[in-house]
Amino acid sequence: MSARVTGIAREPGYTVVENASLAGRNTFRVPARAALLIEVTRSDVLPEVFGLAALRQRPPFILGEGSNVLFTRDWPGVVLAVGVRGIQMLEDGPEGARVRVAAGENWHDFVLWSLARGYAGLENLALIPGTVGAAPIQNIGAYGAEASEFIQAVDVYDRQLGRGLRLANADCGFAYRDSIFKREPGRLVVGAVEFLLPRVRQPRLDYAGVRDELATMGVTAPTPVTVAEAVMRLRTRKLPNPALIGNAGSFFKNPAVSPAQAEALRREHPALVAWELADGRCKLSAAWLIEACGFKGLREGDAGVSSQHALVLVNHGQATGAQIWALAERVREAVERRFGVRLEPEPVVV
């Protein structure tokens, strides 16, 4: 490939686009551009891609389906989109399976794939938008389950070392909506994720609403498929659909506080929604905090807080990323003033 890319350049396994629009590559649907967009469709070309002059100068911004990012401005460097596809069965036995899934596969499609083949575990994580490659980065979670519970290993390209690595679960630094991949952005590019999926697992039904939804469905003996159906019904009812209105799902993490701080808040606000964590701390409902400050359903121009769920910021049409972020900052400041708790964004804010 020539030293300077002009327009679009296609190479085996990847494509390079100059001055590329990102408006269709983020679920907020905000306008943004990248100086260079490199889309990779084969993981074996990553060493060649990272040898390009543009990527030797500075790390890229790594993008999946754009369901966990808010662009407040253009990206002056390289956006690397990993579109590698494929699902490979590594082992299959009476107790479960070991499956290798390429980073570019759609997460929800993979969940449905696993359920259709009789595997359990991922049912609580149905309908989460994004790619399989984003799952370990964010350690996605919902309805009492996290992806890290089922991840055996992650295949990555280490930009620092200039080679591929296989990171075991214990090496991924998984935490609540966090991982080593998120803490070292641009260094580790996820190429594939290896999952251990059991055939039989005790269903996890304790998260608010799941048992009630199953009861409404008339289900008395839940299976992974029926739990997934209940979760999809709950998500569809409670969360705005990114296909209909721009959003990135939950915008803020549920904050964890000390038992003493939680008790003090409960005394002042008896309706506070909180639950205990295994480490003794208390996790507070960020949605409750935001709604208590009066933000649910608020709209400023085309930037708004969803009327369906206070944890979701939305783009009603023509909002810019900067306008959505300004609203997010206003929400954070109000919650901190009233409750003394600092909310942290869940998506990556550029």
- 199 flagged as catalytic: no
CATH of domain 246-349: 3.90.78.10
Tell which phi-psi region holds residue 33, choosing left (phi > 0), alpha (psi between -120 and 50) or beta.
Answer: beta
Tell me the pLDDT of the chain (350 aa) as tens digits.
333 444 788 889 999 999 999 999 999 999 999 999 999 999 899 999 998 988 887 889 999 899 989 999 999 999 999 999 999 999 998 899 999 999 999 999 999 999 999 999 999 999 998 999 999 998 999 998 999 999 999 999 998 898 999 999 999 999 988 899 988 887 899 999 999 999 999 999 988 789 999 999 999 999 999 999 999 999 999 889 888 999 998 999 999 999 999 899 999 999 999 888 888 899 999 999 999 999 999 999 999 999 999 999 999 999 999 999 999 999 999 999 999 999 999 999 99
- What are the counts of helices (DSSP H) followed by strands (DSSP E) for the chain? 10, 21
| Strand 141-142 to 145-146 pairing | antiparallel
**Cα separation of 203 and 271, whole Å?**
29
Find the catalytic residue in 43, 67, 250, 306. Answer: 250
Query: What's the pLDDT at 238?
Result: 87
**Cα separation of 315 and 310, whole Å?**
14
Q: Domain map of the chain by residue range?
A: 8-82, 87-198, 246-349
* Angle at alpha carbon of residue 175, lines to 173 and 181, rounded to 5°: 45
- Give the tokens for residue 72: 């407040």
Q: Which residues contact 153 (CB under 8 A, 6 or more apart)?
A: 166, 167, 168, 169, 193, 194
- In this structure, is the dihedral angle defined by the CA atoms of residues 269, 211, 201 and 152, taken in order, positive or negative? negative
Phi, psi of 303 (to 5 degrees): -95, 135
Query: What's the pLDDT at 84?
Result: 93
pTM of the model: 0.85
Out of 3.20.20.70, 2.30.110.10, 3.30.465.10, 3.40.50.300, select the CATH number for domain 87-198: 3.30.465.10
CATH of domain 8-82: 3.30.43.10
- In this structure, is the dihedral angle defined by the CA atoms of residues 263, 266, 267 and 268, taken in order, positive or negative? positive
**Cα separation of 92 and 197, whole Å?**
10
Contact 68, 61 (CB under 8 A): no
Query: What's the pLDDT at 3?
Result: 38
Query: What's the pLDDT at 164?
Result: 92
Same fold, 87-198 and 246-349: no
- In this structure, is the dihedral angle defined by the CA atoms of residues 117, 241, 205 and 274, taken in order, positive or negative? positive
Burial of 324 (0-12, 13-18, 19+ CB in 10 A): buried
Query: What's the pLDDT at 319?
Result: 97
Find the catalytic residue in 177, 179, 229, 285. Answer: 177
Query: What's the pLDDT at 108?
Result: 96
- 105 flagged as catalytic: no
**Cα separation of 271 and 60, whole Å?**
45
Phi, psi of 328 (to 5 degrees): -60, -40
Which strand ranges, in their side-by-side order, compose the sheet holding 274-276?
256-257, 282-284, 274-276
- 307 flagged as catalytic: no
**Cα separation of 185 and 272, whole Å?**
35
Contact 284, 255 (CB under 8 A): yes
Phi, psi of 29 (to 5 degrees): 55, 40
